[in-house]
Amino acid sequence: METQALLAHWNLTVKSAEPVSGSPRVHRVETAAGPKVLKRSRIREDEVLFVHAAQEHLAASGFHEAPRFQLARDGRPFVRQGSELWTLTDWVDAERSTLRRKNQLDLAVGKVAELHERSAGFPAPAQPADRTRWGAWPEIFRARLDQLGVFRRLAREARTRTAFDRLYMGLLDYHWEQAATAITLLLRTRYRRLMDLECRRASICHHDLTHNNIMFRPDGSVHLLDLDYCLADSRLHDVGSMILRHCKRFGWDLAAAELYIKLYSRNSRDPLSSDELAVLAAFLYWPQDFWQVGLQYYVEKQPWPLSRFLSSLERKTANRREHEAFLAGFRRRFSPDLTV
């Protein structure tokens, strides 16, 4: 379907439409109602409806620094074209940041804390069930640990083992132990009690806080893009993910983690508690990247060249000694009573 015909579903007068450089699924559309973003979604219809509910809840709660799907003529927040779903949002004139500058990091972390606070009371739709995760981390971690066992079996049973199979199997015992440690530590925290509180608070977790999704407008204000993967889950998920993303890019620096925690607590009406920091310590142990690249290769069978899988695995498992020292240091600093 041509872009013009697709956009007719939103009753828009289109002046021009061009793909965004580096993002073939995304178009910038100039319309009489201002610039828009037309995006081919990667998520299912029930997930789009979940995201739409989260966006509308945030807007009704006074949080306006996140996208909102524009309703099509039929009242739905998407247009279906064959097997594809398309969404439309306002274009935001802003630039991404590496978040290396403390003033920008302060603003970004503060905006995330505001999202968590303003999203309280979110009536999460029942479907899809896997978008609601309050209290679900132990079960998710155990299921993914079992999947690591499946990946091991698939690698061993491969008719012709690839370089990826050999490398993955060589690293699996180490990451299996790390995954088991994450579960053990989590079960020794007050996670269940904390999640009872989180469930009553009922806040939204952004779940995709890459530097590409934290944008700064010319006036210095922050806009959070792309809620497509948002969850009904603990704020600790976002805080932990931001720390991990920073350390993976710039090095396993305990001072950086301390800064994120300090800034979040300073910007939040409800600073992170010692019990939450213990849960965060357990969360940081989970080998998400190792599990994910195995899932992409053995289960999802992504149509990527072998070299891409290998480079991804090598990159995501590099600097293991520095990572180990960071995890041990974090636990000593923030939860010294939490032992393996």
For the chain, 340 residues long, give each residue's pLDDT as a single digit of tens.
477 788 889 988 888 989 888 788 899 999 989 999 999 999 999 999 999 999 999 999 999 999 999 999 999 999 999 899 999 999 999 998 888 888 999 999 999 999 999 999 999 999 999 999 999 999 999 999 999 999 999 999 999 999 999 999 999 999 999 999 999 999 999 999 999 999 999 999 999 999 899 999 999 899 999 999 999 999 999 999 999 999 999 999 999 999 999 999 999 999 999 999 999 999 999 999 999 999 999 999 999 999 999 999 999 999 999 999 999 999 999 999 998 8
- The closest of 93, 135, 108, 133 to 279, measured between CA atoms, is 135
Residues of the chain with CATH 3.90.1200.10: 102-334
Q: Are 119 and 203 in contact (CB under 8 A)?
A: yes
Q: For the beta carbon of residue 279, count every other beta carbon within 10 angstroms.
A: 24
What is the location of CATH 3.30.200.20 in the chain? 3-91
* Phi, psi of 133, rounded to the nearest 5 degrees: -125, 15
Q: Which long-range contacts (CB under 8 A, 24 or more apart) does 244-251 make?
A: 244/284, 244/288, 245/209, 245/210, 245/211, 246/99, 247/326, 248/289, 248/316, 249/98, 250/100, 251/319, 251/322
DSSP code of residue 211:
G
Q: What do you get for the CA distance between the two ends of the chain, in Å?
A: 56
Rounded CA-CA distance 11/261 in Å is 46
240 vs 224: CA distance, rounded Å? 17
How much is the pLDDT for 307? 97
The continuous run of DSSP H or E covering 81 comes out as strand 79-81
Helix residue spans in the chain (DSSP H): 3-7, 45-60, 102-118, 137-157, 163-187, 191-201, 235-250, 254-267, 274-285, 288-294, 306-316, 320-334
The pLDDT value given to residue 60: 98
pLDDT for 23 equals: 80
Task: Output the CA angle 316-135-146, nearest 5 degrees.
Answer: 50
Rounded CA-CA distance 124/77 in Å is 17
- In sign, the C-alpha dihedral spanning 309, 312, 318, 322 is negative
Left if phi > 0, otherwise alpha if psi is -120 to 50, otherwise beta: which for 339?
beta
CATH of 102-334, one of 3.90.1200.10, 3.90.1280.10, 2.60.120.560, 3.90.1490.10: 3.90.1200.10
Question: In the prediction, which pLDDT does 114 show?
Answer: 98
pLDDT of residue 301: 96
φ and ψ of 126, to 5 deg: -65, -30
Q: What pTM did the predictor assign?
A: 0.95
Give dist(CA 193, CA 195) in Å, integer.
5
Tokens 């180490």, located at residue: 174
Measured CA to CA, the distance from residue 287 to residue 245 in angstroms comes to: 13
Q: At the topology level of CATH, where does 3-91 sit?
A: Phosphorylase Kinase; domain 1 (3.30.200)
> What is the reported pLDDT for 1?
47
